[in-house]
Structure 1
Amino acid sequence: METGPLNEKIIDAFPEMPAQLQTAARYILESPGDVALLSMREQARQAGVQPATMTRLAKRLGFDGYDAVRELYAQAIREGGLSFSGKAGYQVASQKARGERALAADMIASLSLQIARLGEPASLERLVQAAELLAAARRIFCAGLRSSHTVAWHMAYVLSLLGERATLLDSPAGVGADPIRAATEQDALLAVSVAPYTRATVEIAQYAHGKHVPIVAVTDSAVSPLAQVARVAVLVPTGGPSFFHAMTPAFVAGEILAALVAGRGGEASLEALRRTEDQLTAFNIHWTPQDGRRSS
């Protein structure tokens, strides 16, 4: 994700801010290009706060008013500190007016830019650090619910092909979080959630943090409740032309982490995959061309 000139200052001050200021601060963290380009009223509208809240936030950060904040971000753009990339069509209504093909094209372009950001040096460093932490763990507990469930489930599934190190904290009987009680400092928790954060995932992460279990978070903000307790936070964007969150970047981050962890296993990973393939063959799991010929 893009980094604005006030990121560090906002993150430090964030825990002590009132709720409305936190909402405005999150907008600045997640949309630094818009801070320079849009009017204060439009930014307030997109953030879901009153314009006066933006002014109060500016003064909380030590500025006379919000115009000074906008000028700081405009200067960052002029000096190359921010890019215009990733401005993924915030005017949903106008995109719809251009037609469904245009909206689909905008979504593809937006997702392409978001995924490309994962290849930036800072993001790559976080991915490598996260993979190192997970690979060193005795067991990996994976937590992700609602829209984030697919990320956690896929991570647990891929790692299950390499042995029994991964445990998915989810079950239809409502006891999905129970296995985390056995986690120790030798284990790790992969927690996935984006705003609005799922309460159960946050509570699992906070519980694990209290037991000194190392946490890797895949989340959307440096001030998300998961990032606050994580040893390593992999930040993924979720904005886009659609009404819904873009979960593709989070899924890509999960796939990268699974691949890196598997690769760190070396020969042990290869041997585990051989055993998995033998089992899949024995149970005739996958369709083959012979199946088609038999049914014709």
Structure 2
Amino acid sequence: METPPLADVIINSFDGYSGEVRKAARFVLDNPRDVALLSMREQARRAGVQPSTMLRLARQLGFEGYDPVRDAYANAMRNPATSFERKARDQQRLQNLGGNQALAAKIVASVTRQLEALSAAEQLVRLTDAATLLARARRVYCLGLRASHPIAWQLNYILSLVGDKSVLLDDIANTGSDRIRFAGKDDVLFAVTVMPYTQLTLDIVDYAHKKGVPVVALTDSPVSPLAKRATITIATTTESPSFYHTMTPAFVLAEILAVLVAGQGENETLEALRQVDSYHASLGTHAATRPHPIATPSKEVQ
């Protein structure tokens, strides 16, 4: 989300706020999506202040009530900035306000909250439903381009350890996605893209959807362009205090999804993993010992 114009006012006036209003102001700066979506009372609870403090902040910003503050952030969500340059300016404001360590701490705190949200009951239901769909599929086609590529690759790699039904739609010469033409109703397409959405990903998903291929979508919103084509949508936020949207929650979701699928294979999974262990042992794939001994502290010369 591009920071609404009132964020500049908050930052410029921050030092003049009382302690409680500072808490409210920091919540608004750090949680723009929550400001747009949550009630004033819920925001106050999360900020650790009274609802009246949120109202005081709004009045110090020049508004009669808190609704205009929420409206400003809601409008920003409906018209998000996808320019790295614009978001970098927002990051620089935060960095100048609190310093490098403060920004790093904000990023860690933001990702921590996002990861904690993954254990919500409705999220776990979607994960287990998606895992069951993938486990029953004849083949699982994995699609993730640009920043989403490592997520699709990780799911494909874990599934490749327990069988041979996973197909990664990525290759040199822009031919990797051609294999989706072999997919049918007994297969599943696992697709990942977040804002700014990759057009080729959406085009491939459209093609598969028209062929009747079920789609498991991992994206950043239940109303994203990818979600509209999906049989099951798993959504997580990518919002970050930095200029670069975080992919960490999506990566974790893909990893969880893959191991849930593997766990449903029971004895077949165990046998496949035994073969993997044997294969790598015969090739010496993994280092058996440290390449260099750990240095021991030298004894003081008496």
Could you tell me which of 32, 35, 49 is aligned with 1:33? 35
**Secondary structure of residue in 1 paired with 2:106:** helix
Aligned residue pairs, count: 224
1:95 is aligned to 2:97: no
The Cα of 1:163 is off from its aligned counterpart by: 1.6
CA-to-aligned-CA distance 1:160-217 (integer Å, 9 cap, x gap)? 1112111000012210101111111111110000011111111111111111111100
1:147 is aligned to 2:178: no
* 1:67 corresponding residue in structure 2: none
The Cα of 1:222 is off from its aligned counterpart by: 1.2
* 1:287 corresponding residue in structure 2: 287
The amino acid that maps onto 2:33 is: S
1:231 is aligned to 2:253: no
**Cα distance change on mapping 1:146 and 1:285 into 2, 3 Å:** same
Partner Cα separation in structure 2 for residue 45 and residue 227 of structure 1: 21
The Cα of 1:95 is off from its aligned counterpart by: 2.4
Partner Cα separation in structure 2 for residue 228 and residue 41 of structure 1: 26
Partner Cα separation in structure 1 for residue 164 and residue 122 of structure 2: 31
Partner Cα separation in structure 1 for residue 77 and residue 127 of structure 2: 30
Contact map agreement 2:144 2:150 (CA 8 A) in 1? yes
* 2:75 corresponding residue in structure 1: 44
Partner Cα separation in structure 1 for residue 258 and residue 73 of structure 2: 40
The Cα of 1:229 is off from its aligned counterpart by: 1.0
Contact map agreement 2:205 2:229 (CA 8 A) in 1? yes
The Cα of 1:224 is off from its aligned counterpart by: 1.2
**Cα distance change on mapping 1:211 and 1:48 into 2, 3 Å:** closer
The amino acid that maps onto 1:40 is: D
Contact map agreement 2:36 2:73 (CA 8 A) in 1? no
The amino acid that maps onto 1:286 is: H
**Secondary structure of residue in 2 paired with 1:289:** coil
**Cα distance change on mapping 1:42 and 1:160 into 2, 3 Å:** closer
* 1:183 corresponding residue in structure 2: 183
Partner Cα separation in structure 2 for residue 162 and residue 91 of structure 1: 44
* Root mean square deviation, CA, Å: 2.0
CA-to-aligned-CA distance 1:124-147 (integer Å, 9 cap, x gap)? 111111101001101100000001
The amino acid that maps onto 1:221 is: S
The amino acid that maps onto 1:31 is: R
User: Identity, % of aligned pairs?
Assistant: 42
Alignment of 1:11-160 (within 5 A): 31-35=33-37, 36=39, 38-41=69-72, 43-45=74-76, 47-48=78-79, 92-97=91-96, 98-160=98-160
1:214 is aligned to 2:207: no
* 1:241 corresponding residue in structure 2: 241
The Cα of 1:291 is off from its aligned counterpart by: 4.6
Partner Cα separation in structure 2 for residue 93 and residue 245 of structure 1: 15
CA-to-aligned-CA distance 1:85-130 (integer Å, 9 cap, x gap)? xxxxx96344202111111111111001101111001111111111
Q: Which runs of 5+ in 2 are unaligned?
A: 1-31, 41-68, 81-88, 294-302
**Secondary structure of residue in 2 paired with 1:225:** coil
Partner Cα separation in structure 2 for residue 42 and residue 140 of structure 1: 39
Alignment of 1:260-271 (within 5 A): 260-271=260-271
* 1:82 corresponding residue in structure 2: none
The amino acid that maps onto 1:95 is: L
Partner Cα separation in structure 1 for residue 93 and residue 74 of structure 2: 17
**Cα distance change on mapping 1:221 and 1:46 into 2, 3 Å:** closer
**Secondary structure of residue in 2 paired with 1:125:** helix
**Cα distance change on mapping 1:113 and 1:291 into 2, 3 Å:** same
CA-to-aligned-CA distance 1:28-56 (integer Å, 9 cap, x gap)? xx93533556253455356548xxxxxxx
**Cα distance change on mapping 1:46 and 1:199 into 2, 3 Å:** closer
Partner Cα separation in structure 2 for residue 273 and residue 46 of structure 1: 45
Contact map agreement 2:90 2:243 (CA 8 A) in 1? no
The Cα of 1:277 is off from its aligned counterpart by: 1.1
Contact map agreement 2:33 2:73 (CA 8 A) in 1? no
**Secondary structure of residue in 2 paired with 1:287:** coil
